Amino acid sequence: MRRPPKDTADSARQVSRRALLLGVAQFGLVGALGFRMQSMQVEQADEFRLLAEENRINIRLLPPARGLIFDVNGVPLAVNEQNYRIVMVREDAGDVQEVLDRLTRLVAIPPETIERAIEEMNRRSPFVPVTIVDRVAWDDIAKVTVNAPALPGIIAEVGLSRHYPMGSDTAHVIGYVGPVSDYDLSRIDDQDPLLQIPRFQIGKTGVENKMERTLRGVAGSRRIEVNALGRVMRELDRQEGVSGADIQLTIDSRLQSYVEARLEGESAAAVVIDTFTGDLKAVASAPTFDPNLFVRGISVAAWNGLNEDIYRPLSAKSVQGTYPPGSTFKMVTALAALEAEVLTPDETIYCSGWTEVSGTRFHCWKGSGHGNINLHESLKQSCDCYYYEVAQRVGIDAISAMAQKLGIGVRHDVPMSAVAQGLAPDREWKRSVRGQDWRIGDTVNASIGQGDVLASPLQLAIMTARLATGRNIEPRLIHTIDGIEQPITGGESLGLNENYLRRLRQSMFDVSNHQRGTAYRSRITLDEARMAGKTGTSQVRRITPEERARGVTSNEDLPWERRDHALWVNFAPFEMPRYAVSVIVEHGGGGSAAAAPIGRDITLQALYDGPPPLEAYPADVRARIADQQVRIQNRVAAGGTANTRA
Catalytic residue positions, numbered = 327
3-state SS string for 308-326: CCCCCCCCCHHHHCCECCH
Supply φ then ψ for residue 407, to 5 degrees. 105, 5
Among candidate residues 329, 563, 558, the one with its CA nearest the CA of residue 445: 329
Rounded CA separation 24/1 (Å): 36
Rounded CA separation 441/443 (Å): 5
Provide DSSP, 377-388: HHHHTT-SHHHH
- Residues whose CB falls within 8 Å of the CB of residue 451, separated by 6 or more in sequence, listed in order: 324, 425, 442, 445
| β-pair type (69-70, 247-249) | parallel
Helices 427-434 and 396-405, interaxial angle, to 10°? 100
Asked if 581 contacts 461 with a C-beta cutoff of 8 angstroms, the reply is yes
**Alpha carbon distances (Å) from 180 to 112, 194, 645:** 18, 10, 32
DSSP reduced 3-state for 476: strand
Rounded CA separation 260/645 (Å): 12
Among candidate residues 12, 578, 582, 614, the one with its CA nearest the CA of residue 274: 578
- Which residues lie across from 518 on neighbouring strands? none
Over its C-alpha atoms, the chain yields an Rg (Å, rounded) of: 36
Rounded CA separation 238/599 (Å): 55
Rounded CA separation 64/451 (Å): 50
Number of other residues whose CB lies within 10 A of the CB of residue 285: 30
Rounded CA separation 604/572 (Å): 9
Rounded CA separation 361/406 (Å): 30
Residues, the chain: 646
DSSP annotation of 560 reads G
